[in-house]
Structure 1
């Protein structure tokens, strides 16, 4: 079994890889890299598109599905597997991040989507693909690919210690592709959530919190200490996410639904509110926050950024200029979470995706089998299978 690392290895963004065995090859995720241009915006798929039998998408964030229209423009004609939540959210992601010409010629292919539920086991040729809940977003999954000889686990984006979502345990495998977004960051999510709550308390008379529409928004709603507003366009999606109770921890759905019912709706034409305001997306690249960040800057309205800020993104520019604060709300594993995932998977050989090259070495100090030198564009052979 072999892996072609097509994006997200030694870098953050354009997460994508193929897994092949014999004549069977599948593609896992097809993301874009915010802040890049030209070929680096897309996965490094040169010469491989015609050999891909099926595409499996872990969730609908731009660094995992944003290159779907581009992939179709390259001639991909095979099936596309995703959960119903990913199918429902992906068109908005493409609207924000696909190249307009590609999107016009190759809009979201609703008629080609093959749906599955987290926990289902899928087939493509001689490959068996097991899935499980990721803990990152509603409908988000990890994949474990088995050819009968070797087993590769690809985490996608996962959160093992979320206060909102359930993550299923990744089983024993021969090679584990970890979500290494935070490197060896040791600060637990509960500590960051308290810091965000304290910041919002200090700015409770009005502030802006840009956030992805799915995933982190629910984490923030759970952490906010008092009344808040949401951009009105978010409400239906948030309601749907909260209603997907199988993806949420016990009791969380009722709590979040109560919080959402009490949230005020805010529209673009309204004055900035005298309470915290959630608006998507998290970087200011697309959606309402792309319009709100300049407005907040002009008005001196406090801004708190809580996620990844690609270099040159509107959020990054504002933060570097000292006009926005930043506190990470963990929506990926911190150090203890990744070590636990690796140990429960049997301490296999490992790769790290979605992580800058200099941080992979730090993580290797805690996960000795991590191949920290692996980069986008390389091919990796899966170690010989061990007894499971």
Structure 2
């Protein structure tokens, strides 16, 4: 089995890989790279796309699905597979991150999407593809891809220590392509949540908490133990996630439901509230936060950023100017989580995605089979 690393290797963003088959290729994820431009914004997919038999999407965050309209514009006519939750979330992501001309000519093709559920096993192009809940977002999955001789696990984005979402165990494999977003960061999620709670408590005048609409928003709600507000446009999506059933850890839905029911609705034009205010997206690149971040900065209203800050994004610029603080809310594995995933998978050969080279090198002493030299554009044989 041979794979092409199309994006997210030695870098954060445009996550994508292809498994080669005698009949063509099967793609897993198709993201964009926030802060980049030109060809670097998209996966490193060269030449015609006629041989791509299928694209499977792990979840609807921009670095995993944002290039779908771009691929359609290149003439892709193969199968498109994802969960129902990913299908529901995808149009909003493409609206924020797809090239406007591509999106106008090739809007989200809802009628072409084939649905599967986390836990299903799919058979495509001679591959047996098992799936499992990722712990990262409602409807998010990892993929275990076998050809009868070798097995590759592509984790996509996972959260083994999530306080909100369930992650299914990763199976044994010959090659583990894992979520290395945080490098060798050893601080567990519970410690970060406590730090965020203290930061919020120290700002009784209110504060702005930009967050992705899906995933981290529920992690933040679980960490806030005081009255808060949400941008009113977020509420339907938040309520739908709270009612997601098997995707959520036992007992957490009641807590989230109660807190969300007591949250205020903030609308464009309202004064900034004297409570924490959640708005999407997490980088200030799209959604309500694109307007709220500059408004907060102009009014010296405290801002806490809690996720990845791509170069040249509004959130990164605000942080660099000292107008926002940053505390990571883990929505990817920290060091102990990734070591545990690798060990339970049988300590296979490993490649980290969504991670710059220096952080990959820091992981090498802990995951000794890590191929930290792998980069976007490389091709690798599953050992």
User: Which bin holds the TM-score, normalised by the shorter protein?
Assistant: over 0.9
SS at match of 2:186: coil
**Structure 1 residue 225: deviation in Å?**
2.1
8 Å Cα contact 2:59-2:82 kept in structure 1: yes
Query: Using the alignment, how far apart are the partners of 1:118 and 1:253 within structure 2?
Result: 19
SS at match of 1:49: coil
Superposed CA offset, 1:57-97 (max 9, x none): 00000000000000100111011000000000000000000
> Which residue matches 2:160?
160
Query: Structure 2 regions of 5+ residues with no counterpart?
Result: none
8 Å Cα contact 1:21-1:147 kept in structure 2: no
Query: Using the alignment, how far apart are the partners of 2:33 and 2:324 within structure 1?
Result: 23
Query: Using the alignment, how far apart are the partners of 1:239 and 1:20 within structure 2?
Result: 40
8 Å Cα contact 2:31-2:43 kept in structure 1: yes
Query: Using the alignment, how far apart are the partners of 1:49 and 1:253 within structure 2?
Result: 43
8 Å Cα contact 1:200-1:225 kept in structure 2: no
Query: Using the alignment, how far apart are the partners of 1:97 and 1:228 within structure 2?
Result: 28
8 Å Cα contact 2:158-2:179 kept in structure 1: yes
RMSD of aligned Cα (Å) = 0.7
> Which residue matches 2:208?
208
> Which residue matches 1:198?
198
The yes-or-no answer on 1:321 pairing with 2:287 is: no
8 Å Cα contact 1:132-1:143 kept in structure 2: yes
> Which residue matches 1:253?
253
Query: Using the alignment, how far apart are the partners of 1:357 and 1:328 within structure 2?
Result: 20
SS at match of 2:50: helix
8 Å Cα contact 2:21-2:125 kept in structure 1: no
Superposed CA offset, 1:335-383 (max 9, x none): 0000000001010000000001111011111000010000000000010
Superposed CA offset, 1:250-298 (max 9, x none): 0011110001000000001111111000000000000000000000000
> Which residue matches 1:304?
304
> Which residue matches 2:344?
344
Question: Where does 1:113-262 land on structure 2 (aligned, <5 Å)?
Answer: 113-262=113-262
**Structure 1 residue 217: deviation in Å?**
0.2
**Structure 1 residue 125: deviation in Å?**
1.9
TM-score, normalising length from structure 1?
0.98
**Structure 1 residue 24: deviation in Å?**
4.5
Query: Structure 1 regions of 5+ residues with no counterpart?
Result: 384-388
> Which residue matches 1:10?
10
The yes-or-no answer on 1:82 pairing with 2:82 is: yes
Superposed CA offset, 1:196-215 (max 9, x none): 00000111321000000000
SS at match of 1:17: strand
Query: Using the alignment, how far apart are the partners of 2:185 and 2:127 within structure 1?
Result: 35
The yes-or-no answer on 1:269 pairing with 2:269 is: yes
Query: Using the alignment, how far apart are the partners of 2:174 and 2:48 within structure 1?
Result: 24
Query: Using the alignment, how far apart are the partners of 1:48 and 1:195 within structure 2?
Result: 49
Query: Using the alignment, how far apart are the partners of 2:55 and 2:128 within structure 1?
Result: 13
SS at match of 1:114: strand
Count of residue correspondences: 383
8 Å Cα contact 2:14-2:32 kept in structure 1: yes
**Structure 1 residue 19: deviation in Å?**
1.0
Query: Using the alignment, how far apart are the partners of 2:225 and 2:255 within structure 1?
Result: 13
Query: Using the alignment, how far apart are the partners of 1:47 and 1:365 within structure 2?
Result: 38
Runs of 4+ in 1 over 3 A off after TM superposition: none
Query: Using the alignment, how far apart are the partners of 2:205 and 2:298 within structure 1?
Result: 17
8 Å Cα contact 1:232-1:265 kept in structure 2: yes
Query: Using the alignment, how far apart are the partners of 2:203 and 2:105 within structure 1?
Result: 45
> Which residue matches 1:386?
none
